[in-house]
A = this chain, B = another copy of it.
Amino acid sequence: MSFSSRLRNVQRSNASLLCIGLDTDIRKVPKSLLSQADPVTAFNEAIIDATKDLVCAYKLNLAFYESLGERSWVTIRKTLAHVPAGIITIGDAKRGDIGNTSEMYAKALFNSHSFSACTVHPYMGKDSVIPFAGDPDRGVFVLALTSNAGARDFQYLKVRGKPLYAHVIARVKKWNTADNFGLVVGATRPQQLRETRALVPHMPLLIPGIGAQGGDLRSAVRYGCDAAGEMAVINASRSIIYASGGVDFAEAARRAAFALREEINSYRARFF
């Protein structure tokens, strides 16, 4: 089954476009967990247990793990093992290198770890991206238009009348012969999200930037979804996983995730 179909299935079975970003910072883990051998794993497992019926995906930004050193590998592995089958796991690694090297990164993400998708930088072009897409089952989200201020530096530069990110989108569309590519478009760019969806009517869009980064949820749903009100993967991290810093962190995360899923679904009901 293609990555795209896998995503659609779980979005339907959990009635959710919500992706929880497990960007777990050891400094923000509740004190009650710090006596455990691996507090980050314990935290992630508790969040997953509390939210697994409310999400289509979990996304792990690898920077948060790599900053922990070698134990991060075990933490990632245990976290992924705790995610129920069917739910998408995204290794937000933003890799990209020459062909034989990207193959090594793909191996690390998909074999050493078992992510069902990853994120990649487009700058080095086709042969840096394709090695991540060898298995139709695994997804590749290419950075198109990011949610940060620095997106202005290069992504909007005009090439033959169109911004650079539109050229990235056009290439990714060509590369997507196995229905396993997606794009990253920040929720802080509603108008561009709308234009992107018009260019790729069926492709999964990973949409970070709501919550702490200020992106607008209503627009993310309205413009990020396909015609069926699906295929947008709306990521929230800090607003959910740190909804409470106390012993009730998991229950608080569930409440926040539930509320966000419902808000997303209310916009889906309105617009689709």
Closest to A175 in B: B153
> Which one of B127, B151, B158 lies within 8 Å of A159 (CB-CB)?
B158
Closest to A159 in B: B157
Residues of B within 8 A of A213 (CB): 98
Residues of B within 8 A of A146 (CB): 98, 123-124, 128
Interface positions, chain A 89-110, Cβ under 8 Å from B, are: 94-99, 101-102, 104-105, 107-108
Interface positions, chain A 146-173, Cβ under 8 Å from B, are: 146-155, 157-160, 164, 167-168, 171
A143 at the interface (CB under 8 A from B): yes
Residues of B within 8 A of A98 (CB): 146-148, 213
Interface contact B63-A104, CB-CB below 8 Å:
yes
Interface contact B164-A150, CB-CB below 8 Å:
no
**In the complex, what distance in Å separates the CA atom of A105 from the CA atom of B64?**
8
A69 at the interface (CB under 8 A from B): yes
What copy number does this chain have within its complex?
2
Interface positions, chain A 47-65, Cβ under 8 Å from B, are: 61, 63-64
Size class of A's contact patch? Answer: 35 or more
Interface contact B104-A128, CB-CB below 8 Å:
no
Interface contact B104-A126, CB-CB below 8 Å:
no
Interface contact A74-B70, CB-CB below 8 Å:
yes
A255 at the interface (CB under 8 A from B): no
A10 at the interface (CB under 8 A from B): no
A122 at the interface (CB under 8 A from B): yes
Interface contact B121-A150, CB-CB below 8 Å:
no
| Minimal beta-carbon separation of A27 from chain B (angstroms) | 11
Task: Report 28 cross-chain contacts, Cβ distance below 8 Å, ordered by A residue.
Answer: A63-B105, A66-B104, A66-B108, A67-B104, A67-B105, A67-B107, A69-B73, A69-B112, A70-B70, A70-B71, A70-B72, A70-B73, A73-B73, A94-B121, A98-B147, A98-B213, A99-B150, A123-B154, A124-B143, A124-B148, A124-B155, A125-B148, A125-B151, A127-B148, A127-B150, A154-B167, A157-B167, A159-B159
